[in-house]
Amino acid sequence: MKESYTKFVIIGAGLSGLTIGHQLFQSGQKDFVVLEARDRIGGRIMTKDGIDLGATWFQSHHHEVSKMLEDLKLEKFHQYNKGRSVLVYSTMAPEHYFENDPSAPSAYRIVGNSMAMINTLAKPFKDRIHLGHLVTDVHEDNDTISVITNEHLFKAEKVIVAAPPRIALKIRFMPELPAELISAMETTHTWMSNAIKVGLTFEKPFWRAKNLSGMVIGQVGAVTELYDHSNAEDNRYALMGFVNEGLRDFSKKDRKDRILNYLAKYLGEEVLIYKAYVEKDWSQDSNTCGDTIKSIYMSPSYGNKLFVDSYMNDRLLFSGAETSALYGGYMDGAIHSGLLTANKLVIKKAN
């Protein structure tokens, strides 16, 4: 097994871990690595065929996302919502159509998709990110802390766990973490880890021609929420939304048939003439979802104070959307916690 020393080891190349890496790099602290279990960066941010299969939207009160986009010189744009939207509230009653209030601010999306933020953030320190490095063990030694992956032993001054708390429990910590921390990790739901997303791309935005916004909402059908997901330049057209979790255990073909038939009913048969069809069930992804799938529709409370403390003689810290008291679970929380953690590392360095 290869062995090396680096001052800081960040576990997880999601938005939070990359925010820490970016802050360290910008402050001139370049002695760090980011270890990522997957063969890609971004964690719960992932774009395929122009479809955001993970995080997509942010609101005007999500200041950390806005500020990060500004710093990275990326643009935002409004979620398309012109025209009539469909509300399906019963299988027995006809659908209801409504117009979105044009004066109400719609959510923002990121120009170039959410992965544009991740790729731009990671670019300056790409060579410090090690993909395919699943961390299995973290050991406190006499004057260092060891991080063991499937192929490497990293010795460091400090380790930052930027994986969701429930997922980080799969790591063997020696000595064991305090019981109350383990309990907090076990009970902190990983936001959206149960979600199934679907996206379809099209030659033309056929729904707009019918004065439809592309929004279809309702808990009773195959898709619980659907939105226009065309790009900011308005030359690639798509629909994207959340699949009813009741379809999780159907075969891929059955689920797809039901989704297409459902959408054809409310948007028209043109939906069947798609260019690309993509879906992702996050509950099947072991780097996001634990063994038990927990469906949570209201944002649970996040930011347990135990995640702000450090452990193993101040050598082990936590970061990530679920550790954030501010907008926990969201991209904004992931950045917020990353900034707080990076501050601790950089300030300690200055002393």
Ligand X SMILES: Cc1cc2nc3c(=O)[nH]c(=O)nc-3n(C[C@H](O)[C@H](O)[C@H](O)COP(=O)(O)OP(=O)(O)OC[C@H]3O[C@@H](n4cnc5c(N)ncnc54)[C@H](O)[C@@H]3O)c2cc1C
Question: Footprint of ligand X on this chain (CB under 6 A)?
Answer: 11-17, 35-38, 43-45, 54-58, 134-135, 162-164, 167, 171, 191-192, 195, 197, 282, 287-288, 320-321, 329-331, 334
Residue position matching structure tokens 């002695």: 31
CB of 160 to ligand X, least distance (A): 11
DSSP state of 58: B
Nearest Cα to 198, choosing from 267, 252, 268? 252
CA distances from 349 to 31, 113, 262, 346 (A): 12, 35, 57, 5
Q: How many CB atoms lie within 10 A of CB 259?
A: 25
Task: Report CA-CA distances (Å) from 177 to 83, 148, 171, 314.
Answer: 53, 17, 11, 13
Cβ within 8 Å of residue 269, ≥6 positions away: none
Minimum CB separation of residue 211 from ligand X in Å reads 26
Of the pair 24, 163, the CB lying nearest ligand X is at 163
* CA 265 to chain centroid: 31
Nearer to ligand X, 21 or 320 (CB): 320
Nearer to ligand X (CB atom), residue 86 or residue 171: 171
CB of 155 closer than 8 Å to CB of 145: yes
The CB-of-275 to ligand X minimum distance in angstroms stands at 22
User: Which amino acid is located at 180 in the chain?
Assistant: E
Residue 206 or 324 having the CB closest to ligand X: 324
Which residue, 229 or 258, has its beta carbon nearer to ligand X? 229
What is the nearest approach in angstroms of ligand X to the Cβ of residue 106?
A: 13
Rounded-to-integer distance, Cα 351 and Cα 345, Å: 10
| Closest CB 89 distance from ligand X, rounded Å | 23
Residue 96 C-beta: closest distance to ligand X, Å: 25
Shortest distance in whole angstroms from residue 201 CB to ligand X: 18
Distances in Å between the alpha carbon of 228 and those of 56, 80, 328?
12, 6, 26
Nearer to ligand X, 84 or 256 (CB): 256
Q: List all residues 6 or more positions away from 157 whose beta carbon is below 8 Å from its beta carbon.
A: 7, 8, 144, 145, 315
Shortest Cβ 136–ligand X spacing (Å): 7
